[in-house]
Chains A and B, each alone.
Chain A
Amino acid sequence: NAGVTQTPKFRVLKTGQSMTLLCAQDMNHEYMYWYRQDPGMGLRLIHYSVGEGTTAKGEVPDGYNVSRLKKQNFLLGLESAAPSQTSVYFCASSESGTQETQYFGPGTRLLVL
């Protein structure tokens, strides 16, 4: 039981490049979330999904897109990376929307030059 895994662990991009971050969970959770964490700050919600085939915007969605084609996977895309998107990205999942316990992946460190 791996829990929540994220790929890649670290990535360097040039401004304007695109990339996709992959999140996978093996707990059969319905709800999945993408957060970003900037140095010395809390997590901010980017997008979330309440089930396979559904996605919705969070607090800071601009510049990101997401897809949830399979229940166990939640993808975060950056179409044209900007230096302001340099951050640590965390994926999380929870059993239901009313479940307060979120299980987090190990994070992806992204540096945009």
Chain B
Amino acid sequence: GQSLEQPSEVTAVEGAIVQINCTYQTSGFYGLSWYQQHDGGAPTFLSYNALDGLEETGRFSSFLSRSDSYGYLLLQELQMKDSASYFCAVRSEENYGQNFVFGPGTRLSVLP
């Protein structure tokens, strides 16, 4: 089977740095994606890692270690608008590579 684990909640203050971890178990791993979802809204794509290492996109960075089946999303210079749920997702080889599995999500609260 496939499974992803994330912390359920993280709290940080404005301007700080926060790291959201994700560990996964899957068959035929293609890559790890991250999505942001505000309350009542739709998920929006943040980043994707197919290879080991760090990918940086503005204030957000994402890291992957394939050997450890582990990745994280790093948010820097936190802003109030970053308060949202963050999901990691993997695409596995099941269903002809179209089996997207999402983690349970991490709720980030940014305090003033």
Contacts and interface: CB of A to CB of B under 8 A. Distances in A.
Contacts of B42: 90, 104-107
B41 A33 contact: no
A45 B99 contact: yes
B: interface residue count bin: 20 to 34
Contacts of A42: 4, 87, 89, 102-105
Given A31-B98, A50-B98, A101 B45 contact: yes
A57 B98 CA distance: 10
A41 interface: yes
A106 B3 CA distance: 26
22 contacts: A33-B98, A35-B102, A41-B105, A42-B4, A42-B89, A42-B102, A42-B105, A43-B100, A45-B95, A50-B96, A56-B98, A57-B95, A58-B95, A58-B99, A59-B99, A97-B98, A100-B33, A100-B45, A100-B91, A102-B43, A103-B45, A107-B42
